[in-house]
Amino acid sequence: MRIKVFVVLLCLSVFGSCLAVEKMPMRIGVQALGTLEWELQALQADPEFKNSDIQLQVVPLANAEAGKIALQSGSVDMIVSDWIWVSSIRASAGDLTFYPYSNTSGALVVPKNSAIQSIADLKGKRLGIAGGELDKNWLLLQALSQKSSLNLNELVEKTFAAPPLLNEQIKQDRLDAVLTYWHFAARLEAQGYRQILDGSQILQGLDVKRNVPSLGYVFKQAWGQAHKVALNNFFKATKQAKSQICSQDAVWQSIVPLTHVDDAQTLALLRQRYCQGGVEQWGSAEQEAAQEIYQLLRGVSQNKLTGNAEHLQAGTFWTVD
């Protein structure tokens, strides 16, 4: 049984006593250099959150896979991950669920003076891809190329690597283009590189009409049901923290050291892209669009990413009510 954490909210000095209320412990796994770290710092500095019913504990994670292991083993209560993984766990009788965190996804970036203007121009080029063969950005880019009868998987010289390494390789002219995560794309753009497509534009090209968040807070449904009020309050507080980062310069300046960036242009672009990722709409229309994306990913990956389940599993998305 977890140790209960109490906080004194009001002390009545006249009577020499205090009123105490119980706080809900929330252990959230966080990878270094991720934007979740930004949001939680802003959240913990907010006086309103300090007086909330949540006792937040940040647990450092080495990488995304470590987070998945920690969540499933019970070492943390929550991580940020994707809904495809959540659905696959539910298909195997797991009880994970997902609440959206960010709309921002990856981007295809080329040098400023590159002749590449479209997907078709990637033919015969050296393409760096963040992640692996089953990276969702890469799969969706392949799906988009197939609409033009192009097999991008066979037409490019692929290099799969971590985003920092890809950034260095394109700077050294070892790659002609990179498909990478948004914050690494922003770092390149700030240095004069040019964006061809981002994740939302790829989805638009695939006739997906709604902007579907790729990343979200993931936790066990039973845990969420047991702490529903506090959990939903947490989601409201994180949305407010994101708003403060985007609208209050003093809050943004407190985040800057976490970016490990010291030039103004890169910082400005990181903030801009982060703020563009705010989730403004999340309902049945977006969840139906997620089903469309699921089918696309299932087809392109030949079930390797999604598993054998034909559809997103019921309960994949957490409902705030």
Give dist(CA 144, CA 196) in Å, integer. 13
Q: What is the DSSP letter of 122?
A: G
CATH of domain 107-205: 3.40.190.10
82's enclosing H/E stretch is: strand 78-82
Q: Give the pLDDT of residue 34.
A: 84
Which tokens is 186 given? 């922003």
What is the domain partition of the chain in residue ranges?
5-102+213-260, 107-205
pLDDT value at residue 14: 37
Ramachandran angles phi, psi of 69, nearest 5°: -65, -45
Cα 45 to Cα 81: distance, rounded to the nearest angstrom: 24
Whether the Cβ atoms of residue 138 and residue 148 lie closer than 8 Å to each other: no
Read off the amino acid at residue 20.
Answer: A
- Residue 37's contacts (CB-CB under 8 Å, 6 or more residues apart) are 30, 31, 258
In angstroms, the CA 122 to CA 120 distance is 5
Residue 92, φ and ψ in degrees, nearest 5: -105, 25
Task: Give pLDDT, residue 218.
Answer: 98
Measured CA to CA, the distance from residue 184 to residue 107 in angstroms comes to 9
Which segments of the chain are extended strands (E)?
5-12, 17-31, 54-61, 78-82, 96-102, 107-110, 126-130, 157-161, 177-180, 194-198, 215-220
Tell the residue number behind the tokens 């609440």, with chain if given.
Answer: 99
3-state secondary structure at position 70: helix
- Residue 257: CB partners within 8 Å, gap ≥ 6? none
pLDDT (tens place) for every residue of the chain, 321 residues total: 444 443 333 343 333 444 445 788 999 999 987 899 999 999 999 888 888 889 999 999 998 999 999 999 999 999 999 999 999 999 999 999 999 999 888 999 999 999 999 999 999 999 999 988 999 999 999 999 999 999 999 999 999 999 999 999 999 999 999 999 999 999 999 999 999 999 999 999 999 989 899 899 999 999 999 999 999 999 999 999 999 999 999 999 999 999 999 899 999 999 999 999 888 889 999 999 999 999 999 999 999 999 889 999 999 999 877
CA distance linking residue 261 with residue 191, whole number of Å: 13
- Beta-carbon contacts of 123 under 8 Å, excluding residues fewer than 6 positions away, are 150, 155, 156
Q: Provide the sign of the torsion angle of the four alpha carbons 247, 249, 251, 255, taken in this order.
A: positive
Please determine, looking at this structure, whether the domain spanning 5-102+213-260 carries the CATH number 3.40.190.10.
yes
- pLDDT score for 19: 46
| Cα distances (angstroms) measured from residue 222 to each of 5, 35, 94, 226 | 21, 27, 10, 6
**232 and 320 Cβ atoms separated by less than 8 Å:** yes
| Cα–Cα distance measured from residue 34 to residue 215, given in angstroms and rounded to the nearest whole number | 12
